[in-house]
């Protein structure tokens, strides 16, 4: 009796399996906020950039996963807001903590 050998699956066998989303992949969807449709995208985080969450007015450090949301009506990059995931989820239950004017930096 010969020893058992484990078969190595060929690439054809592996192609039938669905490809998993890579870590840090983004998921874009449309959600309602303040009576408007907003495009919401989950991001893994960027290197070297700090953002300020409009929900809690705290910084989102570089590399931390968060949510980017902007109005669906063709808004530009300047209308995008970076939120903590929990703050975006609680956006309807609490008011905005932002104390700055529209012209203040959003770093």
The Cα 87–Cα 35 span in angstroms is: 18
Domain ranges of the chain: 23-89
**pTM, 2 dp:** 0.61
What are the DSSP calls for the chain, one per residue? -PPP-PPPPPHHHHHTSPPPPPTT--EEEEEEETTEEEEEEEE---TT--EE-TTT--EE-TT--EEEEEETTT--GGG-EEE-HHHHHTTTTS-----S-TTS---
Q: What is the pLDDT of residue 52?
A: 93
- pLDDT, tens digit (0-9, with 9 covering 90-100), for 11-70: 444 444 333 333 344 588 999 888 889 999 999 877 788 999 999 999 999 999 999 999
């Amino acid at each position: 009796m010969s020893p058992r050998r484990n078969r190595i699956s060929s690439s054809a066998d592996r192609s039938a399996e669905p490809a998993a989303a890579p870590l840090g992949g983004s998921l874009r969807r449309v959600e309602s906020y303040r009576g408007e449709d907003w495009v919401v995208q989950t991001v893994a985080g960027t290197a070297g950039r700090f953002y300020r969450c409009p929900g809690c007015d705290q910084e989102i450090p570089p590399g931390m996963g968060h949510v980017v949301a902007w109005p669906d009506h063709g808004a530009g990059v300047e209308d995008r807001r970076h939120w903590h995931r929990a703050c975006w989820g609680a956006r309807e239950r609490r008011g905005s903590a932002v104390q700055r004017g529209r012209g203040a930096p959003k770093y």
